[in-house]
Structures are given as C-alpha cells and as structure tokens.
Amino acid sequence: MGIIRTPSPKLKEVRMSFFHATYGHVISGLSHNGKPVQAAVFNDNQVRAAAGLALVLAAVALVYGRFESVYLPMQAVTTFLFVEYLIRVTIGIQYSPLGVLAGWMVQRKGPDWASARPKRFAWTLALIMSGAMMVMTNAGVTGAVPLTICVIFMLLLWMESVLGLCVGCEFHGFMVKQGWVQKDSAFEICAHGACDIPPR
C-alpha cells in the first residue's frame, strides 16, 4: 500500500496565494482626483523602463536582419519577447525578465501608479505582434509584412517608453467618447488623464 503524502500547510498557502493572486498591485489608501483607487495598478516607471529595454532589443535585431541579413538575433529576440509578453499578460510585469530588470533600474525612483487593465490590453497587442514575428522569422519569412509589424511594434514601444503614452488607455477613452462602450471602472489612473472620462 502506497504512502499518501499531503502537502504541508505552508505549501498549500503558497499555491493558494499564487492561483488567487490579484493581477497587478492593489495599493491600500491610493487615491486619484480625490477618489480611492479600487482596481489593481502597476508602477508606470517600471513599465516605461521595460518598454525601453524591449525597444533596444528589437532595434538591435532589426538592424542585424535588415542591413546584415543575419536573422538569428531577430529569431531569438522575437521568441524572447513573445515569452516576455506572455508572462506579463498572464501574471504581471513583476515576474517577467525585462520587468524584473526594469524594476531594479527604477527602484530608487518613487512609483507612478497606473491602472493595470489598460496595460494588459497593450501587452496583449504586443503579445500578438511578437508572436506573429516569432512565427515568421523562425519560418524564414522576410519582406514587407514582418518589417511593417516590427516597425509598428517598435513605434508602440517608443511611445510607451519616451512619451509615456498608454495605447490601451487612449483606445478605451476613444471608444467611451464615441459611445461604443461604457467607461470601465478598472481604468482609473492613466497617463495624460486618458482615463478621466465621465461615463455616458
């Protein structure tokens, strides 16, 4: 008869905390425009630093592929970025490789909190684009299509890292203004006040 081993209470606690973890950080006492922030947030300084790191990797890979016809760096970078954004979309930037490095880089700077859900939307776009690039570059596809996707991807990274422009926030704000959707209550703090839109 085999021995039935039950996990320790500590291991159970770790598993439960992982599977029921909130996406992002819920900051007690955080407020915006005089109202308490209920939804989860990310440190926008960390997000922007991580976008800058991803931009550098993508730029180096593009230069090698476009001007030297060396595609191994692009294959490696697109695969890495796909995994990077998959981690961000599923469990958060604080667990992704570039996110960890970016967090270390900005640790001496005070946090600038931004709503987590629009970041997740933007990272989902990045996940789709990096996935498409990963498939095409590793399949040997070259030409205008992968180049266009790469340029758009890098442009979005540049806007995030340099301008602090949240694509997810702006897109959501546009849809709310057009009356296509109602204001999402999880969009509370966004760059340039993109989330400060009264519900219709």
54-113, pLDDT tens digit by residue? 999 999 999 998 888 888 999 999 999 999 999 999 999 999 999 999 999 999 988 889
Instruction: Establish if 20 belongs to a structural domain.
Output: no
Q: What whole-number distance in Å separates Cα of residue 112 and Cα of residue 79?
A: 30
Q: What does pTM read for this prediction?
A: 0.81
More confident of the two residues 93 and 171: 93
DSSP 162: I
Domain span at residue 107 reads 39-193
Instruction: Establish if 74 belongs to a structural domain.
Output: yes
Coil/strand/helix, residue 35: strand
* Tokens at 1, concatenated: 């008869």
Instruction: Establish if 78 belongs to a structural domain.
Output: yes
Count of domains for the chain: 1
Instruction: Establish if 18 belongs to a structural domain.
Output: no
Q: What whole-number distance in Å separates Cα of residue 195 and Cα of residue 177?
A: 11
Instruction: Establish if 28 belongs to a structural domain.
Output: no
Report yes or no: 152 and 129 within 8 Å, Cβ to Cβ. Answer: yes
Instruction: Establish if 6 belongs to a structural domain.
Output: no
Q: What whole-number distance in Å separates Cα of residue 166 and Cα of residue 194?
A: 8
Instruction: Establish if 153 belongs to a structural domain.
Output: yes
Instruction: Establish if 5 belongs to a structural domain.
Output: no
